[in-house]
Amino acid sequence: MQFILKRDRRDHFRFAALQSSFARAILARHRLNPDALDTFYIAFNYGETTEYVLSRDEGVAAVLDQLGGVWSIWAKLFRIFPRRLRRWQYDLIARTRYRLFGKYHACPLPDPTLRHKFLDLP
C-alpha cells in the first residue's frame, strides 16, 4: 500500500482493509474467501456489471500497469514469465516482504491529504 501511495500520481487507487465490510462484500460477490488475509486483491469497475477482482501476481501486474511510466514496462516484463514462475516470485516476496521493505509496529495513519483514498475509514 505504501508503495502504491507514493507512486499513484494520477490518484487512481483506493484502499480498504480486507477485514472491512466493504472489502468482504466485494470478495463474497466473487466467491473469494474474505477470511484469507494473506493475499493481495485489486477490484476493477467497482459496482458495475463488469466488476472483477485480480489477486496475487495478476493483481501486482495490474497495479504496476495502472501506475504507468516505467512501472508499466515492469508489468509487461513480469507478464512474460509463465504464470507458475510469477506465482512463485509473488509468494517469495510475500514471505520476505518485512525483511525487504520493513515492518510497521502499528498500521500507519494516512496523511490527511490521502484520507480520500481509504474507502473504509469513518
State residue 54's pLDDT score: 94
The span from the CA of 37 to the CA of 30, in Å, is 15
The span from the CA of 88 to the CA of 82, in Å, is 10
pTM: 0.81
State residue 39's pLDDT score: 83
Domain segments of the chain: what residues?
2-8+15-102
Average pLDDT, the chain: 86
> What tens digit of pLDDT does each residue of 57-101 get?
999 999 999 999 999 999 999 999 999 999 998 888 888 876 766
